[in-house]
Amino acid sequence: MNTQLIVFGLYFLIIFLIGLYGLKRTKNEVDYWIAGGRLGWPLGGATMAATHTSAGTFIGTIGLIYTAGWSFGWLLITIPLGYWLMVAFLAPRFTKVKQLTLPAFIETRYYSKTARAIAASIILVATIVYIQAQIIAGGLVANVVFGISPFQGMLIFTAVLIFYTLFGGMLAVVYTDLLQLIIMFVGSLLAVPFALRQVGSFDQLIAYAQVLKPDTFEWSGISLTLLFTMGLALLLSLISTPDKLTRLYVMKDMRTIRRGILLTIVTVCTINLLVFVLALAGIAVFPSLPAGDLAMPLIAHALLPPVLGAILLAAVTAAMMSTVDSLLLVAGSALSEDIYNNVLYPNATKEKKLLIARFGIFIVGLTPLILILYGVGEGTLIQFIVLLFAALMASSFCIPVLGGVLWKRATKEGAIASMIGGVSVTMLWKVFGFPYIDPVVPGFISSLLLMIFVSLSTQPPPEQAIRPFFNEG
């Protein structure tokens, strides 16, 4: 236990120092929101990869494979495909007009402050959903490492996150992301050989998993319809979540973006493959856990040497923090830049906007804790919370973003209808719909149809709105 405390103490100390460094380096709004928009590909790719890798990877994926079998692993193919779509079709035009936020892009392309405010409101609500999954995972890790209650662990985890994101902005987030990606990669890479040693070899690991849970390698654990539509949700969300889209703005040019995304694909896919092996180790060694989400913390605590176990748990924590800090920043910008300054007080000073942003980060970071305290999301596998966020983002923003850079005829009325209709249908399907089809399907189809029919039924967009994105010069 002392070893784990020392490792985590050093880890959190470095995070705090990076936050202070980010505060010192932050000179203006561009630094705070997009790290000056001048990062090279190593930092740009690292922050994209770290943002992608979350509790959904280390705890949620292991928990779902533990519960429902290996079939969930096929969704790994959505990662390179989604990022290829981002680089090939979206990024070249999306980054022609560099913005501070995704809703700011919505306003510029769709010449509408209302569309921007709607986009920001959706982001605020959906972000709370996603952060909740990460905080629940933080509580599980803290319970294993420190022996405290999960809720106390959630409280500590949230406090650390809010602190360095609040003061350091995107610069702090980018540098902590680099550190966290290194920890995630090294931790998972070192953990696999030790986990395999517990059972003898990879072949024996497969055999143990198959004997202890015969359906591990069957397709029956998850309905094929649900599995396919979950993959669609993950694929579409890769090119529509605001935390990833704003990462395109932090890199200085398209050449940098292409190299950065290649680094992202390689590191994220490698980490996921290592995680799949750890999931099988969890089945082989702990075949009767009450909840699949407990598998990863127990692997780190019981199977690995103390120092390596602490490093792996730090990697899990890093995965959560590298995602939540990005989303907190997105939420702060949505409240400050897109709602407060855009709708309420257009002439607000930079100091006032930054104050509101920090207030937004604090509130959005705290709200999931309050929801958990009242039982919202209790008992839900973390990966399913992550998938709900993916569906909300894909059904809200995929069509307005892609349509904005690929279809000149897309109008502000079409974009507004697409966002509202997509997110509304997704939520209704989640509550009342057929459970074996992910909510992204009806939400995305509704968003697409509304964009097409409403845009064609309204006046074409003005030339000045589309020229920056379609000018090939």
Tokens representing 19 are 């936050």
3-state secondary structure of 39: strand
Q: Which residues contact 4 (CB under 8 A, 6 or more apart)?
A: 145, 146, 306, 309, 310, 313
Q: What is the pLDDT of residue 389?
A: 82
HSE-up of residue 429 (Cα within 13 Å, Cβ side)? 23
Burial of 214 (0-12, 13-18, 19+ CB in 10 A): exposed
Q: Which residues contact 2 (CB under 8 A, 6 or more apart)?
A: none
Give one word for 263, left, alpha or beta, with left for phi > 0 and alpha for psi -120 to 50.
Answer: alpha
3-state secondary structure of 438: coil
3-state secondary structure of 222: coil
pTM: 0.84
Q: What is the pLDDT of residue 395?
A: 95
Name which of 460, 439, 441, 438 is nearest 449 in CA terms.
441
Q: What is the pLDDT of residue 322?
A: 66
Domains and their CATH numbers in the chain: 2-376 (1.20.1730.10)
Q: What is the pLDDT of residue 99?
A: 83
| Bridge partners, 251 (sequence order) | 39
Instruction: Average pLDDT across each block of 10 residues of the chain; the chain has 473 residues. List them in order.
Output: 71 75 70 74 89 76 81 86 92 87 91 92 83 76 75 79 66 77 83 83 86 83 87 89 87 93 94 88 82 75 76 73 73 78 74 77 80 63 72 93 94 97 94 89 96 96 91 64
In the block, which residue shows the tokens 């702090």? 172
Using CA atoms, how far apart are residues 103 and 118, in angstroms rounded to an integer?
8
Buried b (16+ CB within 10 A) or exposed e, 252-285: beeebbbbbbbbbbebbbebbebbbbbbbbbbbb
